[in-house]
Amino acid sequence: LEDPHFITTDPNALQILEHASKLLAEDQVIAIPTETVYGLASNALRPEAIKGIYKAKNRPLDNPLIVHISSLKMLRSILPNGEIPIVYESAIKRFWPGPLTILLPKSDLIPSEITCNQPTVAIRFPSHPVARALISKCGFPLAAPSANASGRPSPTLASHVLTDLNKKIPLIIDGGQCSFGVESTVIDAIGTKDPVILRPGGVTYEELVKIPEFERLRVYNKDYVDKKQEIAPTTPGMKYRHYSPNAKMVLVDVCGRVGARDIIEREIQKMVNGGMDNIGILVTGSSKTSNGAQPMSVDNFYSNKECAIINDFKVSTANDQNIIEYTLGDSSHPEEIARELFKGLRYLDERKVDCIIVEGISEEKEGLAVMNRLRKAASKTIVE
Ligand code: TXA
Ligand code: MG
C-alpha cells in the first residue's frame, strides 16, 4: 500500500467525504476523527469489511466493536423490530450525539464479527462533524474501534494513527486533536438489574446519574462486579493490557494525600538512582490554554544536571541522565487531563524514555476515565 495521505478537515470538503465513502463502500478500512479518539472505520454490516479492522490493528478476535450511527432512523433500521429500549430514551436525548455508547439487543443484520457472539451490540452516535457527515453519506453504520495498534494508547491526533498503522490503511482523515481525548463511556442498562458503566469515558458518572432511569447507576469494578465476567470477560477492556506506552509505567496513585508530591519526587529519584538514562514524567501543573488543543509540552533537558527542578520536584541527576516532563494540565480541570493523556504517553514514548512516572488524579468527573486508563496501562501502581 501507498502511504496514507492526510486531508485537513474542512466543512466544505465534499471531495474528501466522496473519496472516503467510496473506500468504505468497497469494504476498505480507513481512519476517521471522532470527538473522543480517532476511529478505525469500516462498513458495520459487512463481515469482510469488519475483518479488515481486526487485521489492521491486530485486535484480538474476541474483543467486540462499537457500531457508529448518524441518525436514530439508522439506529432503528438495525435493531430487532426497530425498537429502542425505553430505559435509554432520556440518555439518548441528553447525550447523543456525543461520547456515550449503549448496549442494545443485537439483530441478525449485525454480523457476529462485530459482537463476538454476544447477544448485545454497542452503539454510539458520534458528534464529530466529519464522522457524522461520513456515516450519513455512506448510508450504512460504521464499525470503529480506536485507531491504534492493539494495546497501544489510543490516537488523539492523526499523526498517532500514522505511527501505528502506516501502510496498513489507505486513508487517514485529519480532524486535528480530539476534543475529549478518552474513549466514549460504555453503559449497559439492559443486561443487569441496575445500569452499569462498563467503561468510564467522555460522559461522566456525575452527568449520567442525574438521568432518572440511571439513578442507581453502578461503575464496574468500583461498586459492581460480575463473577461470571471476572472468569470469562465479555468486555475485553477488562481483559487485555491496554492503552500502554512502550516504556514501563509507574502510576503514583496518591492524589490529594498529605505528602503526595514527596512520594512522586521519591519515585523519580529512585529511577534516577537506578541508573535510567531517560526518565519521562507525566504530571499535572498549570492550566493549558483555553482552546485546550495547544502542544504546550516542554522538554526539560537541563544544562545543569546537578539538581533539576521539575515541576517543583527536586531531583539530583547525573550528567547523562535526562528527565523529560510532559504537563497534562490543571488537576482541577480533569477534562484537560483527559484530552492530553494519550498524547502525553505517546510524546514520552517517541522520546524513547526508559520509564514513565505518572501522577494520579482524583476520580471525579473525567478523572474516573483517566484513572481507569492509567491503571490498565501501568506496570506498577504505588498507593500508600
Ligand atoms: O470513543 C469510542 O468509543 C471510540 C471511538 C472510535 O468511537 N471507540 C472505541 O472502541 O473506543 P474500542 O473498540 O477501542 O472500545 C470498545 C469497547 C471495548 O472495551 C469493548 O469490549 C466494548 O466496547 N464493547 C463493544 N461491544 C460490546 C458488547 N456487546 N458488550 C460489552 N462490551 C462491548
Ligand atoms: Mg481501544
The CATH number given to whatever domain includes residue 360 is 3.40.50.11030
Instruction: Name the domain boundary from 236, 264, 294.
Output: 236
Q: In this predicted structure, which of 80-94, 129-143, 230-244 has the lowest mean pLDDT? A: 230-244
**pLDDT score for 243:** 82
Mean pLDDT of 126-134: 91
Inside any domain, residue 44: yes
Give the number of the atom of ligand 1 that is nearest the alpha carbon of residue 201: 1
Query: Which of the four pLDDT bands, split at 50, 70 and 90, describes residue 122?
Result: very high
Nearest CA-CA partner of 142 in 158, 131, 156: 131
Pair (136, 260) in one structural domain:
no
Query: Residue 238 gets which letter from DSSP?
Result: G
Mean pLDDT of 158-166: 96
Mutate which of 173, 183, 203, 240 for ligand 1 pocket (most atoms within 8 A of beta carbon): 183
Tally of domains in the chain: 2
Pair (368, 300) in one structural domain:
yes
Pair (21, 66) in one structural domain:
yes
What is the distance in A from the centroid of ligand 1 to the CA of 322? 37
**pLDDT score for 200:** 97
Residues with CB under 6 A from ligand 1: 34, 36-37, 39, 63-66, 99, 101, 103, 115, 118, 120-122, 124, 144-146, 183-184, 186, 198-199, 234-237
The set of cell numbers assigned to 119 is 447477544
**pLDDT score for 317:** 85
Instruction: Name the domain boundary from 206, 236, 266.
Output: 236
**Mean pLDDT for all residues in the chain:** 88
Pair (167, 316) in one structural domain:
no
DSSP labels, 78-144? HSGGGPPPGGGHHHHHHH-SSSEEEEEEPPTTS-HHHHTT-SEEEEE----HHHHHHHHHHTS-EE-
Pair (210, 300) in one structural domain:
no
Inside any domain, residue 273: yes
**pLDDT score for 346:** 96
Q: In terms of residue numbers, what domain contains 43? A: 5-236
Pair (199, 305) in one structural domain:
no
The pLDDT of residue 261 is above 70: yes
Mean pLDDT of 267-273: 91
Cβ-contact 72, 134 below 8 angstroms = no
Higher model confidence: residue 178 or residue 14? 178
Inside any domain, residue 243: no
What is the distance in A from the centroid of ligand 1 to the CA of 102? 10
Q: In this predicted structure, which of 237-246, 355-364, 373-382 has the lowest mean pLDDT? A: 237-246
Pair (86, 117) in one structural domain:
yes
Nearest CA-CA partner of 178 in 365, 346, 354, 315: 346
Pair (32, 133) in one structural domain:
yes
Query: Which of the four pLDDT bands, split at 50, 70 and 90, describes residue 234?
Result: low
- pLDDT above 90 covers a percentage of the chain that reads 70
**pLDDT score for 231:** 55
The pLDDT of residue 325 is above 80: yes
Query: Which of the four pLDDT bands, split at 50, 70 and 90, describes residue 232?
Result: low
Q: Residue 30: which CATH number? A: 3.90.870.10
**pLDDT score for 287:** 52
Higher model confidence: residue 306 or residue 65? 65
The pLDDT of residue 197 is above 50: yes
Pair (232, 346) in one structural domain:
no
What is the distance in A from the centroid of ligand 2 to the CA of 184? 10
What is the distance in A from the centroid of ligand 2 to the CA of 181? 12
Instruction: Name the domain boundary from 236, 258, 277.
Output: 236
Nearest CA-CA partner of 219 in 232, 231, 243, 237: 237
Atom 21 of ligand 1: nearest residue by CA position: 235
Mean pLDDT of 24-37: 98
Pair (154, 130) in one structural domain:
yes
Query: Which of the four pLDDT bands, split at 50, 70 and 90, describes residue 47?
Result: very high
Pair (201, 149) in one structural domain:
yes
Inside any domain, residue 242: no
Ligand nearest to the CA of 143: 1
The pLDDT of residue 117 is above 80: yes
Higher model confidence: residue 44 or residue 380? 44
Inside any domain, residue 128: yes
What is the distance in A from the centroid of ligand 2 to the CA of 306? 41
The set of cell numbers assigned to 362 is 482524583
Higher model confidence: residue 364 or residue 6? 364
Query: Which of the four pLDDT bands, split at 50, 70 and 90, describes residue 318?
Result: confident
Sheet containing strand 218-219, strands side by side: 5-8, 171-174, 30-32, 39-43, 142-143, 66-68, 120-124, 100-105, 185-188, 196-199, 218-219
Ligand nearest to the CA of 144: 1
Mean pLDDT of 304-330: 79
Pair (140, 208) in one structural domain:
yes
